[in-house]
Structure 1
Amino acid sequence: MCRHDPPCPAAKASDREAARTVMRDDVQGWALLCNGVLLFEDTGELLPDGQTVRPHRPTPPADSAAAA
């Protein structure tokens, strides 16, 4: 799919989120990446083959939550 030089990471690559954004809708909270991945605001993903990737936001360490 990608015609960039160097090419964007493939949809199955571990760094797939580094692909360039082709289209986005900030109101609905999604971005379509050059490799066909649909990336959601909550960090969940829909891959071109229909496979889903659960949201994977980093969580703060337990002791930093207690300090707040």
Structure 2
Amino acid sequence: MCQHETACPAADAADREAARTIRHRPEQGWTLLCNGVLLFEDTGELLPDGQVVAPRRPLAVPARNAA
């Protein structure tokens, strides 16, 4: 899929998010990478084979009230 010199990481590689951006739609919350991976702003991913990668964003921890 990638046509770049020094090809981007494949969609099944551990570093797949290092591929170049092809389309970026921040108003819709997604970015399409050269390797066909669709990244979402919540850190979830949709791989070209239809596999879903769950978001890895840490859950917010409520702030403690200082007493």
Same fold by TM-score greater than 0.5: yes
Q: CA RMSD for the aligned pairs?
A: 2.0
Separation (CA, whole Å) in 2 of partners of 1:5 and 1:41 = 28
Which sits farther off after the overlay, 38-47 or 50-59?
Answer: 50-59
Q: How many residues align?
A: 65
Separation (CA, whole Å) in 1 of partners of 2:59 and 2:35 = 27
Separation (CA, whole Å) in 1 of partners of 2:17 and 2:34 = 10
TM-score by structure 1 length? 0.83
Q: Which residues of structure 2 form unaligned runs of 5+?
A: none
Separation (CA, whole Å) in 1 of partners of 2:26 and 2:5 = 27
**Higher Cα Rg: structure 1 or 2?**
2
Query: Displacement, 1:58?
Result: 4.7
User: What amino acid sits opposite 1:5 in the alignment?
Assistant: E
Q: Please identify which structure carries the higher helix content.
A: 1
Q: Which residues of structure 1 form unaligned runs of 5+?
A: none
Query: Displacement, 1:5?
Result: 1.3
Aligned residues with identical type, % of pairs: 69
TM-score by structure 2 length? 0.84
Q: Partner of 1:27: helix, strand, or coil?
A: coil
